[in-house]
Structure 1
Amino acid sequence: MAKAYYFYVLLCADNSFYGGFTTDVAQRFATHRAGKGAKYTRAHPPVRVLYQEAFKTKHDALHAEWAFKHQSRQKKVRFLRAHGVTLPQ
């Protein structure tokens, strides 16, 4: 089976979102939780994985990450809801 590449979205403690790319979502989430992930998640501790999507190519996963990060919060919320994610109030 071919390696999968993932785009994922984390919910942070301050109710912000963090979008990222990895080949192993659980491992990457653990890295973020340990304070060893991205600079953003060191300042905004992640609470849970809200969304993940597998892609066949690294390029496609990175493109999904880029597209998510360059949206307004309102559009990010719409994207997540459209993909069946229930967001906290």
Structure 2
Amino acid sequence: GVLDYIKDPLPTLTRIRRLTREKAFLSFPKLWSYRTPLRKLRLGLKRCPVYFYTRRRIYELITYAGFKRITIEQMGPMYFVIVVPDNP
């Protein structure tokens, strides 16, 4: 996903919030996964920054961006998130 490569995802999430009428579907790479060190190394060698998230950090970012209902599901090394804006 795009959010894997954005150092400060809050402005992007805020823009997504402004553009969302009903629901948004997002994905975030999980911080603690067996694949995290390998992915970080592989992309680091290509000088491509990659960012990983905890469930708590995702919840904070989504809340600050202005979403109210949040569903976070873990699937392997990823979190899949469904959000609803506070004023659809």
- TM (normalized to structure 2)? 0.28
Structure with more relative contact order (C-alpha pairs < 8 Å, separation 6 or more): 2
